Amino acid sequence: MITNVCDFLEKTAIKFSKKVAFIENEKSITYDEFDTLTDKLASEILRLGLLRQEPVLVLLPKGIHCLVSFLGVAKSGNFYTLLDEKTPKERILKVAKILKPKLLITSKKFDFSYIDLPCIFCEDFENFSIDKDILNVCKERHIDTNLLYVFFTSGSTGIPKGVSITHKSVIDYTFWVCETFDVSESEILANQAPFYFDNSILDIFSTIKMGATLHILPTSIFAFPLKAIEYLKRHEISMVFWVPSVLIYFANTNALNDANLTSLKKVLFCGEIMPNKQLNVWRKNLPWAIFANLYGPTEITDVCAYYICDREFKDDEILPIGKACKNTELLIFDKNFNLITKEQVGTKGELCVRGTGLSVGYYADKDKSSKAFLQNPLHDNYEDKIYRTGDIVCYNERGEILCFGRADNQIKIMGHRVELGEIETTINSHDKVQNSACVFKDDMITCFYEAISEVDFKAFLKDKLPLYMIPRNFIKVGKFELNQNGKIDRKKLMELA
Ligand code: AMP
């Protein structure tokens, strides 16, 4: 029985002890070494008196030390929150106020002396001794409903929300990923997602479960598509799970032409709407690969819906998010919480989700939790929570789900309900357009776009969109600013509109 994500590591460390688990720049670590180092850290955490389910704040850059911290904390029966070492002081303090961590794990390179906490430095991990007895006691009493991590999302009020995720959610998700995408020990993955962003859960735990190898790519490499592609080739990367913004950028810069990435067999993406125009560039250049659109909010442990591309799409079509992952249920409700069924093709509603992957709520915030996590409106017989994603979706005639973006991207203009995502999909299909984002301010739609040159949209959109959906203003930008997670920073655009 698997009750702790560390059970994956325990098995793999026996089976593939000398195999390289993680690679970061020139550094690498084998499963055996990784297992030992996490035992050392876990023993030290327990010696410091964090005996069960205490919050540990990790302030480290993406890398092997971060992973040792995660698994070390998990082995000690506590849970982690990661913040990037570049996180502004104000945000760190806000998070610390909610989380009330009992321990800080960081590096001697940084000065976080303003956080008054006992501290472990990653430079000391090697020096800690392993206490097998204390680790065994801890292992025996662990249950899978214990928290593994709390990830903080930005929160519309400016107060971060701590999405609390249990071991069982990550275990369930990892099984699903490995089965669905046939991940094996021969898989070589290249990670793009920051480790405080839940897309990284797929990379980290599928790797550990199967005894695969994960390359931790530096964020800077994604600004240079040719360099990144050269890396993928040189290291025979077989699987990636990246955000659409990165895939779009690579397609727009023609980096894939003649790239001949024959080792890359699985291209998965999640986080934003993936436009077919750029996806088609990828599919044309990698006809041997499978492409999968994964969908999900942090509150459902990364992913709750998926669509493996099984047919051609025109540039201006919406790529489905498909269907529910195994052991997950997707429910679409109208404003009055009436269920929208597959027969109601095209009827839009809000996507809600239930399943083992569901977060147990926002850390220390019952109010916010009760607004987002509701009793299943279909019955009131026992506690059965659903999460309201805030995304507008509908079924197509094949019973697949289409996602039009967030409800807050849904606007009312001249009495019509409009999904800004729908306008963007049409605009993105223009030959010259590389990417676009629309915002609604002062009763006007403004479209920001990246393109090779200025575009005359009015003529292009005339036959494609009703007049009320055509943006009033079009602003060409050099390159979209991305938020922390690598998605288009829409808050910034709102300020510019
Ligand atoms: P986060 O919690 O930061 O992962 O953001 C989750 C939100 O990203 C979802 O509620 C969607 O609005 C959006 N999202 C994630 N994956 C997709 C996808 N494949 N297609 C469209 N939107 C997506």
Domain boundaries, the chain: 1-166, 414-497
pLDDT in the model for residue 413: 80
Beta bridge partners of residue 365, listed in sequence order? none
3-class DSSP assignment, residue 74: helix
Determine the average pLDDT of the residues in 210-238: 96
Which pLDDT tens digit goes with each residue over 61-89? 999 999 999 999 999 999 999 998 888 88
Smallest CA separation from ligand 1 atom 10, residue = 297
- 402 within ligand 1 shell (Cβ under 6 A): no
Q: How close is the Cα of 298 to the center of ligand 1, in Å?
A: 9
Q: How close is the Cα of 205 to the center of ligand 1, in Å?
A: 20
pLDDT in the model for residue 406: 83
pLDDT in the model for residue 459: 87
**Per-residue pLDDT band at 457 (split at 50, 70, 90):** very high
Determine the average pLDDT of the residues in 133-155: 93
- 391 within ligand 1 shell (Cβ under 6 A): yes
- 297 within ligand 1 shell (Cβ under 6 A): yes
The residue assigned the tokens 């982690």 is: 80
Q: How close is the Cα of 19 to the center of ligand 1, in Å?
A: 34
Say if residue 481's pLDDT is above 80. Answer: yes
Smallest CA separation from ligand 1 atom 4, residue = 297
Quote the crossing angle between the two packed helices 31-47 and 5-15, to the nearest 10°: 140
Residues of the chain with pLDDT > 70, as a percent, come to: 99
Smallest CA separation from ligand 1 atom 19, residue = 295
Residues of the chain with pLDDT > 90, as a percent, come to: 84
Which residues, including other chains, have CB under 8 Å from residue 422's CB and lie 6 or more apart? 318, 404, 469
The 10 Å Cβ neighbour count of residue 184 is: 11
Say if residue 471's pLDDT is above 70. Answer: yes
Say if residue 390's pLDDT is above 70. Answer: yes
Q: Looking at the chain, how many residues does it have?
A: 497
Residue 267 Cα distances to 84, 211, 335, angstroms: 26, 20, 35
- 293 within ligand 1 shell (Cβ under 6 A): yes
Say if residue 109's pLDDT is above 70. Answer: yes
Q: How close is the Cα of 26 to the center of ligand 1, in Å?
A: 33
**Please, is 84 exposed, middle or buried when counting C-beta atoms within 10 Å of its C-beta (0-12, 13-18, 19+)?**
buried
3-class DSSP assignment, residue 446: strand
Which residues, including other chains, have CB under 8 Å from residue 24's CB and lie 6 or more apart? 63, 64, 215, 216
pLDDT in the model for residue 157: 59
Say if residue 182's pLDDT is above 90. Answer: yes
Closest CA to 297 of 169, 183, 191: 169
Whether residue 29 contacts residue 51, with contact meaning beta carbons closer than 8 Å, is answered with no
Burial 201-213 (b: 16+ CB within 10 A, else e): bbbbbbbbbbbbb
**Please, is 19 exposed, middle or buried when counting C-beta atoms within 10 Å of its C-beta (0-12, 13-18, 19+)?**
middle
Which pLDDT tens digit goes with each residue over 392-422? 999 999 999 999 988 877 787 877 778 888 8
- 425 within ligand 1 shell (Cβ under 6 A): no
Q: Which CATH number fits domain 1-166: 3.20.20.120, 3.10.20.30, 3.40.50.980, 1.10.760.10?
A: 3.40.50.980
Determine the average pLDDT of the residues in 416-431: 86
3-class DSSP assignment, residue 387: strand
- 239 within ligand 1 shell (Cβ under 6 A): no
Task: Report the relative pairing of strands 290-295 and 266-270 from DSSP bridges.
Answer: parallel
Mean pLDDT of the chain: 94
pLDDT in the model for residue 339: 98
Task: Report the relative pairing of strands 349-355 and 328-333 from DSSP bridges.
Answer: antiparallel
Considering only 125-139, 174-188, 404-418, which range has the smallest mean pLDDT? 404-418
Considering only 274-288, 317-331, 397-411, which range has the smallest mean pLDDT? 397-411
Determine the average pLDDT of the residues in 294-320: 96
- Show the CA angle centred on residue 107, arms to residues 103 and 113, nearest 5°: 60
Q: Using CA atoms, how far apart are residues 166 and 171, in angstroms rounded to an integer?
A: 9
Sign of the torsion angle spanned by Cα atoms 440, 441, 445, 448: negative
Q: How close is the Cα of 303 to the center of ligand 1, in Å?
A: 9
Burial 447-473 (b: 16+ CB within 10 A, else e): bbbbbeeebebeebbeeebeeebbbee
- 298 within ligand 1 shell (Cβ under 6 A): yes
* Closest atom of ligand 1 relative to the 389 alpha carbon: 10
Smallest CA separation from ligand 1 atom 9, residue = 297
Q: How close is the Cα of 144 to the center of ligand 1, in Å?
A: 26
Phi, psi of 418 (to 5 degrees): -130, 135
Say if residue 156's pLDDT is above 60. Answer: no
Nearest-Å Rg of the Cα atoms of the chain is: 23
Q: Using CA atoms, how far apart are residues 450 and 435, in angstroms rounded to an integer?
A: 5
* Closest atom of ligand 1 relative to the 305 alpha carbon: 19
Q: How close is the Cα of 154 to the center of ligand 1, in Å?
A: 14
What secondary structure letter does DSSP report for 482? B
Determine the average pLDDT of the residues in 453-468: 86
- 295 within ligand 1 shell (Cβ under 6 A): yes
Pocket test for ligand 1, best of 149, 267, 391 (most atoms within 8 A of CB): 391
Q: How close is the Cα of 27 to the center of ligand 1, in Å?
A: 33
pLDDT in the model for residue 100: 98
* Closest atom of ligand 1 relative to the 406 alpha carbon: 12
- 321 within ligand 1 shell (Cβ under 6 A): yes
The pair of structure tokens assigned to 308 is: 């493996």
Fold of 414-497: GMP Synthetase; Chain A, domain 3 (3.30.300)
pLDDT in the model for residue 158: 60
Say if residue 445's pLDDT is above 90. Answer: yes
Pocket test for ligand 1, best of 276, 401, 403 (most atoms within 8 A of CB): 403
* Closest atom of ligand 1 relative to the 199 alpha carbon: 4
Q: Can you give the pTM of this predicted structure? A: 0.90
pLDDT in the model for residue 321: 98
Same fold, 1-166 and 414-497: no
Smallest CA separation from ligand 1 atom 1, residue = 297
3-class DSSP assignment, residue 422: helix
